[in-house]
A and B are shown apart, each in its own frame.
Chain A
Amino acid sequence: MLIKRGIPVSPGVAIGPAMVFGTESFRIPQQLISANAIEIELARFHAALDATCQEIMLNEKLARERLGDQYAAIFSAHLLLARDQQLVSQIEERIRQKNSPEFAASQVLRQYAKRLRDLGGQYLAERSIDIYDLEKRMLRHLLGERREELSNLTAPVLVLANNLTPSETANLDRKFVLGFATEVGGHTSHTAILAGALEIPAVVGIGSFLDEVSGAQTIIIDGSHGVVIIEPDADTLAKYRDSEARFRSHEKRLQSLRTVPCETKDGVPIQLMGNIEFPGEAEPCRDKGAAGIGLYRTEFLYLESNREPTEDDHYRAYCQVLKAFPDQPVIIRTLDLGSDKMPGALRADYPESVNPALSVRSIRLSLQHLQLFKTQLRAALRAAALGDLRIMFPLISTLLEFRQAKMVLSDVVEDLEEQGVEFRRDIPIGMMVEVPAAAVMAEEFAREVDFFSLGTNDLIQYTLAVDRADQAVAGLYRSGDPSILRLIRMVVEAAQRNNISVSVCGQMSSDPMFIPLLIGLGLRQISVTPHAIPELKEVIRNLTIERAVAIADRASSLEVARDVENYLWGELKKLCPESMQLD
């Protein structure tokens, strides 16, 4: 039994077989075989091994012809590895011990890989990569036609990976994915957001651990405490099945809050909305009690399929969301692509940039690709005829940029009018406040936009100059940093002075301990991960505005993030003594 720890980013407990995910990976169907299948499985292993060797020899030949001897030598080394007698006899031994060939090969190879990595040094680390390559080849031959990737699973799995990017997971089969555990990542990584959307447990930032686990091994992911257990013993397994049950009953309790109004103890209504990525999430959001959609991340339309979505694809998606919220606001954010979410079609135009977070993305990408931008805007304006749809532009950094985006919108309005297409023109146009420059110029922006939405994920990233996905500095990314509190206050006050609405959407707002602070700073509209809605409602209902303001003032007087967060945590415990945190 191996216990690993990381950052808990989506609560709950999941127990099941592992699927180790790489750039090309398959689910290992089973660990064990029956005693009378041993000879057959041995034969199957040897057949796959021969096929693997044939393939390597072919690669060597091709490489020699096209790229020269130097390069071909890599394959001759791989061949030596594939035919290594020690390796082969160890795998055979495992098969005789009733392991499936897939599991046996994977285990033995990974053990070697780990040994080499532990010896240290660049050279041996690279050799371990050769071993992983061999593992992939062998699995491919062993599994043949029966290969199951993330998009066509036939059985439940817990997905383990170094990292999970949006394009990799866009096609996953939600029915069979029970949880995630990744080596890198933090609270706002894609893995965390996706796990939240799917409402499955996830632990990230575990550090290197993939060579200690093979597909089909039993895994426990405890997303509430940040623990991942590989091949748990019987006692541990029993204890966790227990937790799983308790977690579910807690969820039920929160479900009962669904229909009560979301307002403070002294009757001030707070609009709790949902953040979604797929239209299918709208209905579950409404069922959880959301008062609208505060952030619809539309870029997922681009990541889901191989071809670029048409105007009608956009239109259909937006209508689906509006249908779930017929009399409530639905705020769509125009494409936030670039950085880690570049769709295939555009990747050719943009060579890998040194600083993707500071490069061409979001509104900059839209303004450079007017065709793309206008397609989305047209669909939005057309869909707006069916409900309270609002548009916001991401990553706005200057007034000029906002005005340019608005001009494109007016062009689209003109086009639609000329063409006699049905649409609504008077829709609110707002912006995400996530670039520090925008926060600093909040007053000026407040005079031109219809609403603000504080994108705390990126605001924190840019203000503290911390890459939220970089494990080496993950500790520096603090939502409770005094600078952030100050910027939020600045933005809210500018909004209030200019009579525009301001909401907050970002992982920070989904964290119960920040709710009193955000409300105390003046926010009345909060958009969160759907599964957090019931819990946050509970916090809000225990809060008075006076108390919230006092908490915000006190928090704003503290000088370091750690003090702010400790203070807020203490206040939350006082407000909700019987809250979520299990044991």
Chain B
Amino acid sequence: MRPLELIARKAQSFRSQVFVTRGSNRVDAKSLLHLLTLGAEPGMELEIDATGEDASQAVEQLTELIGSEFEGFERP
């Protein structure tokens, strides 16, 4: 659960609303429970989007985090 926990905590540190999408599933990145329901595994494509004042930092930092936490993940 560690990687997802880090993602949730990181997302919670921003004021913007942040979402992670896998396929047709778009979930609240601040919710560990919702992140779990993504069933994400290394190698999968995830999309990150955010709305709010610190949106661009949120997206940047989370992309960085996911990239380092999930090995073999490619940045678009």
Contact = CB atoms under 8 A, between A and B. Distances in A.
A80 B5 contact: yes
A268 interface: no
Contacts of A115: 37
Contacts of B49: none
Given A85-B30, A85-B31, A116-B37, 12 more contacts: A76-B5, A77-B32, A80-B8, A80-B32, A81-B32, A84-B31, A85-B28, A86-B28, A86-B34, A112-B37, A119-B37, A124-B39
A127 B36 contact: yes
B15 interface: no
Interface in A425-469: none
A63 interface: no
Task: Name, among B2, B9, B32, B34, the residue most crowded by chain A CB atoms within 10 Å (CB to CB).
Answer: B32
Contacts of B5: 76-77, 80
A73 interface: yes
26 contacts: A77-B1, A77-B5, A80-B8, A80-B32, A81-B33, A84-B31, A84-B32, A84-B33, A84-B34, A85-B30, A85-B31, A86-B28, A86-B31, A86-B33, A86-B34, A87-B31, A87-B33, A112-B37, A116-B36, A116-B37, A119-B37, A119-B39, A121-B39, A127-B1, A127-B36, A131-B33
A124 B39 CA distance: 8
Nearest to A109: B33
Q: Across the A-B interface, give the 5 residue pairs with the lowest CB-CB distance, nearest first.
A: A86-B31, A119-B39, A80-B32, A77-B1, A84-B33
Interface in A56-87: 73, 76-77, 80-81, 84-87
Contacts of A124: 36, 39
Task: Name, among B2, B36, B39, the residue most crowded by chain A CB atoms within 10 Å (CB to CB).
Answer: B36
User: Which DSSP category, helix, strand, loop or mixed, fits chain B's interface?
Assistant: helix
A76 B5 CA distance: 9
Contacts of B39: 119, 121, 124
Interface residues of A, number: 17
Interface in B10-69: 28, 30-34, 36-37, 39
Nearest to A121: B39
Interface of A: 73, 76-77, 80-81, 84-87, 112, 115-116, 119, 121, 124, 127, 131
Task: Name, among A73, A80, A85, the residue most crowded by chain B CB atoms within 10 Å (CB to CB).
Answer: A80
A112 B34 CA distance: 9
Nearest to A128: B36
User: Which DSSP category, helix, strand, loop or mixed, fits chain A's interface?
Assistant: helix
Interface residues on B, range: 10 to 19
B72 to A, nearest CB: 18
Interface of B: 1-2, 5, 8-9, 28, 30-34, 36-37, 39
A48 B33 CA distance: 20
Nearest to A108: B33
B61 to A, nearest CB: 18
A85 B9 CA distance: 12
A114 to B, nearest CB: 11
A350 to B, nearest CB: 36
A128 to B, nearest CB: 9
Nearest to B33: A84
A131 B5 CA distance: 15
A73 B9 CA distance: 14
A87 B28 CA distance: 11
B62 to A, nearest CB: 16
B22 to A, nearest CB: 12
A77 B5 CA distance: 7
Contacts of B37: 112, 115-116, 119
A85 B29 CA distance: 11
Nearest to A134: B33
Nearest to A73: B2
A131 B32 CA distance: 12
A431 B32 CA distance: 60
A83 to B, nearest CB: 9
Contacts of B1: 77, 127
B36 A80 contact: no
Contacts of B34: 84, 86
A270 B63 CA distance: 80
A116 B36 CA distance: 7
Task: Name, among B8, B33, B34, B37, the residue most crowded by chain A CB atoms within 10 Å (CB to CB).
Answer: B33
Contacts of A86: 28, 31, 33-34
Nearest to A76: B5
Nearest to A112: B33
